[in-house]
């Protein structure tokens, strides 16, 4: 589970089904240079860990790369790896910028930008959907929220893509760390420009906010901007790519969406469950406890596999069937509990806008060439997706408003 090749080589559906049935809390043995860890595959057990901030902590890392290293340098400063009252206080600062009311104008810009990008692609007749459409939607949105200048966005995208995943095998750990350092340095510069400026972008909000009567430290502001740009880009973008690839072959589901027999918001939830672009998160045990019949010792690494839990037969009827009308659909694509994704509302708006634009401007589409996968043990998805479109001339004539 530590090797990206494991996820690139084959469909792991049978593996996850076997683990859920026979060993839902499974010990992944140690290997030279790294410790062993628990692999949790069952939905109910994931919820147990996510809810339990007493027995499990995020502050030694929340993804395999940092958990196996034994620490996360951002612990206690970046929300994703901070627990307790300080996590709550900083999260409350950020939530002011992410409420549905505060997001209304942003969501409208998401809709307009998405419709324009999809319509342009359909008019051209073909495109690399991953490179020409989906990667421009979430990054533009989170960059708007953060106040990133338009001229810097291509650079930020290139570093984001290298920070937690790679288009090809062979990227070294040093390459990933270098990309993350570049992003942090970029936001440090931007933060200094915003100090004392009372504007509504997230960098300014964090820079000028008071928590317990004090301004947040420079590193804390920079690290949380870094977290937002990565989280805000990857989930939506990879979900959109997976949706197009899946709908290209699931003709009945595409027709249901196109003919408005399924609500686009309901469809978006199934697309998120099906794609599950963030394969895992993790925790470290603080106290001795029992999970799924296994004794978890203090210090043990516990990895939580959404890619299994979102196909758990105990929760989802026919979990391996793509069903845009599925309801209820309590998937874990955004995590759960105190660390539930702060940008979930925005991500849902982006995926919904893409599906609506697709059904408005195209009568059908197909995969037009070989797809290219990310190389990662954390994220799953496509970095290249050639698509050819059949245009809906009436939809295109009606415009992108």
The pLDDT, as a whole number, for residue 23 is 98
- Which of left, alpha, beta for 255 (phi over 0: left; psi -120 to 50: alpha)? alpha
In Å, what is the CA distance from 256 to each residue of 268, 269, 323, 324? 13, 15, 10, 8
Of 70, 71, 1, 73, the closest CA to residue 31 belongs to: 1
Q: Which residue has the higher pLDDT, 187 or 46?
A: 46
> CB atoms < 10 A from the CB of 106, how many?
18
C-alpha 264/C-alpha 268 separation (Å) is 6
| pLDDT average, residue stretch 90-100 | 87
Q: For residue range 340-350, list pLDDT tens digits in order.
A: 999 999 999 99
Is the per-residue pLDDT at 105 higher than 70?
yes
Is the per-residue pLDDT at 170 higher than 70?
no
Structure tokens at 186: 């970029």
Torsion angle of the four alpha carbons 204, 206, 208, 210, in this order, in degrees rounded to the nearest 10: 160
Q: For residue range 228-241, list pLDDT tens digits in order.
A: 887 888 889 999 99
In terms of Cβ atoms closer than 10 Å to its own Cβ (0-12, 13-18, 19+), residue 187 is buried
Q: For residue range 265-324, list pLDDT tens digits in order.
A: 999 999 999 999 999 999 999 999 999 999 999 999 999 999 999 999 999 999 999 999
SS3 for 76? coil
DSSP state of 390: E
| pLDDT average, residue stretch 170-191 | 81
Side-chain-side CA neighbours of 49 within 13 Å: the count stands at 34
Of 13, 7, 8, the closest CA to residue 322 belongs to: 13
| pLDDT average, residue stretch 69-84 | 94
Q: What percent of the chain has pLDDT over 70?
A: 97
Distance of CA 366 to the CA centre of its chain: 25
Is the per-residue pLDDT at 9 higher than 80?
no
Is the per-residue pLDDT at 256 higher than 70?
yes
The pLDDT, as a whole number, for residue 167 is 53
SS3 for 400? coil
Phi first, then psi, for residue 25 (nearest 5°) are: -120, 95
Q: For residue range 354-363, list pLDDT tens digits in order.
A: 999 999 999 9
Q: Where are the domains of the chain?
A: 4-398
The pLDDT, as a whole number, for residue 57 is 98
C-alpha 173/C-alpha 175 separation (Å) is 5
DSSP state of 98: T
C-alpha 245/C-alpha 118 separation (Å) is 15
The pLDDT, as a whole number, for residue 156 is 81
Is the per-residue pLDDT at 48 higher than 80?
yes
Q: What is the CATH number of domain 4-398?
A: 1.10.630.10
| pLDDT average, residue stretch 29-42 | 97
The pLDDT, as a whole number, for residue 169 is 54
The pLDDT, as a whole number, for residue 216 is 93
* Pairing status of strand 210-211 against strand 214-215: antiparallel
C-alpha 113/C-alpha 134 separation (Å) is 11
The pLDDT, as a whole number, for residue 401 is 67
Is the per-residue pLDDT at 66 higher than 80?
yes
C-alpha 172/C-alpha 206 separation (Å) is 32
> CB atoms < 10 A from the CB of 315, how many?
18
Q: For residue range 357-382, list pLDDT tens digits in order.
A: 999 999 999 999 999 998 889 999 99
For 122-188, strand residue ranges (E) read 126-128
| pLDDT average, residue stretch 30-58 | 97
The pLDDT, as a whole number, for residue 70 is 93
If pLDDT is split at 50, 70 and 90, which confidence band does 243 have? very high
The pLDDT, as a whole number, for residue 163 is 73
DSSP state of 63: S
- 304 membership: H or E segment, kind and range: strand 301-305
The pLDDT, as a whole number, for residue 390 is 98
């Amino acid at each position: 589970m530590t090797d990206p090749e494991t996820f690139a080589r084959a469909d792991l559906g049978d593996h996850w089904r076997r683990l859920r049935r026979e060993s839902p809390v499974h010990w992944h043995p140690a290997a030279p240079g790294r410790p062993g860890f628990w692999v949790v595959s069952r939905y109910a057990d994931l919820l147990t860990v996510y809810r339990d901030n007493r027995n499990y902590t995020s502050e030694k890392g929340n993804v395999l790369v940092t958990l196996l290293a034994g620490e996360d340098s951002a612990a206690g400063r970046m929300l994703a790896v901070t627990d307790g009252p300080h996590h709550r206080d900083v999260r409350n600062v950020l939530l002011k910028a992410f409420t549905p009311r505060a997001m209304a104008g942003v969501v409208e810009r998401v809709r307009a930008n998405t419709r324009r990008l999809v319509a342009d692609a359909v008019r051209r007749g073909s495109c690399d959907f991953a490179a020409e459409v989906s990667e421009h939607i979430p990054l533009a949105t989170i960059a708007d929220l953060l106040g990133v200048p338009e001229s810097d966005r291509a650079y930020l995208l290139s570093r984001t893509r290298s920070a937690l995943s790679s288009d090809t095998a062979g990227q070294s750990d040093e390459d990933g760390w270098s990309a993350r350092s570049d992003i942090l340095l970029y936001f440090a510069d931007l933060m200094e420009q915003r100090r004392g400026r009372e504007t509504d972008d997230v960098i300014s909000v964090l820079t000028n906010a008071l928590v317990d009567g004090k301004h947040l430290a420079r590193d804390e502001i920079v690290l949380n901007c870094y977290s937002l740009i990565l989280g805000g880009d990857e989930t939506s973008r990879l979900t959109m790519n997976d949706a197009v690839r899946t709908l290209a072959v699931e003709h009945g589901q595409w027709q249901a969406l196109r003919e408005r027999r399924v609500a686009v918001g309901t469809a978006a939830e199934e697309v998120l469950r099906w794609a599950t672009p963030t394969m895992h998160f993790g925790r470290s045990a603080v106290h001795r406890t029992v999970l799924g019949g296994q004794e978890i010792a203090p210090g043990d690494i516990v990895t939580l596999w959404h890619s299994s839990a979102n196909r758990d037969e105990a929760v989802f009827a026919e979990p391996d069937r793509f069903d845009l009308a599925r309801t209820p659909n309590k998937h874990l694509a955004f995590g759960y509990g105190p660390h539930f994704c702060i940008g979930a509302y925005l991500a849902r708006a982006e995926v919904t806008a893409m599906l609506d634009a697709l059904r408005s401007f195209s009568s059908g589409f197909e995969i037009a060439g070989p797809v290219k996968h990310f190389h990662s043990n954390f994220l799953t998805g496509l970095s290249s997706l050639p698509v050819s479109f059949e245009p809906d001339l009436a939809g295109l004539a009606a415009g992108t408003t």
